[in-house]
Structure 1
Amino acid sequence: MSLTGPSLFERERDRLSAEITGGFEELLSSSNILNRKLEEVLGMTREYETIAALWEGFHELMRGQRNETLEDRAVGLPGTGSHVVSTNSNSQR
């Protein structure tokens, strides 16, 4: 450093160093924001997996009840539209 103050080179170096430092701080801040958003997305994905598992269980339960209902109808309950009065042709005589 000279007695008259910082030279043009030193002032430019300090300005560029400050600009680079500011750029790195902004990059770090943006990276942190991106990481938080990615964590949120991953968390939501896990929540959707839980909800999907609940709906799958509900679907299996309803399908099981539907199959039981269809089996009951196969027996021929009156009022269900599947009741057969007689299938034996000998009983009609």
Structure 2
Amino acid sequence: MSKTEDENPFFERERDRLVSEVTTGFEELLSSSNILNRKLEEVLGMTKEYETIAALWGSFHELMRGQRNGADVSSEGAPPGLPGTGGHIVTSKQGNES
């Protein structure tokens, strides 16, 4: 029986060492996932900020594309354009004055 008494403390020590390694591994994993979650939240927050800027540039692009398409059409069929953009054409009708 002295052999089993000598083996028990070895297995208990080994078990305690392995439990300690697993605990340390889980703590590192938890810490890493918390860091990852914070970084993901930062990225998502930045994309929300850029949505309004992207919408503004999208509107500008559509306006410029409309201006370019309007320049290709003859002046009679061209859309009037927007004031302040250089595409607004002011016409005056001259009547026959007798």
**Normalised by the size of structure 1, how large is the TM-score?**
0.67
- Equivalent runs, 1:1-93 vs 2, <5 Å: 13-74=1-62, 76-77=63-64, 81-83=65-67, 84-85=70-71, 86-87=78-79
Q: CA RMSD in A?
A: 1.8
- What is the percent sequence identity of the aligned residues? 8
Consecutive aligned runs of 4 or more in structure 1 exceeding 6 Å deviation: none
Q: Distance in 1 between matches of 2:6 and 2:50?
A: 66
Cα drift, residue 72 of structure 1:
2.6
More helix by share: 1
Unaligned runs of 5+ in 2: 72-77, 81-90, 92-98
